[in-house]
Amino acid sequence: MPMPPPKASTESLRDRQVLHEMGQIVRALEQQGPQRVDDLARLVGAAYWERGRSQRALSLAVADGWVVKGPADRLQTV
């Protein structure tokens, strides 16, 4: 029985770039303290990221437990 063809991309949903972006988010929160989403986006320069990447990186950071929502809806590291 033949093997199925390889996937179109060898990168998974969590490519290296998103891991880098998640790290930027965590470092910004560690250095600057808890932030609102808009302020965090400004700190990491998300305006220069490809559309939707900052929200994706933030969602993954929250899902992985690197970032949590604290008092007053401010994001912070664990």
Query: Is 5 inside a domain boundary?
Result: no
Query: Is 31 inside a domain boundary?
Result: yes
Query: Is 62 inside a domain boundary?
Result: yes
Q: Spell out the per-residue pLDDT of the chain, length 78, in tens.
A: 677 766 665 556 568 889 999 999 999 999 999 999 999 999 999 999 999 999 999 999 999 999 999 999 999 998
For the entire predicted model, the pTM comes to 0.80
The helix or strand, by DSSP H or E, that contains position 75, with its residue range, turns out to be: strand 75-77
Query: Is 7 inside a domain boundary?
Result: no
- Can you name the residues that pair with 76 across neighbouring β-strands? 68
Query: Is 26 inside a domain boundary?
Result: yes
* Tokens coding 39: 């302020």
What is the domain extent for residue 66?
16-77
Query: Is 10 inside a domain boundary?
Result: no
* Tokens coding 27: 């470092």
What domain count does the chain have?
Answer: 1
Query: Is 20 inside a domain boundary?
Result: yes
Q: What is the CATH number of the domain that holds 23?
A: 1.10.10
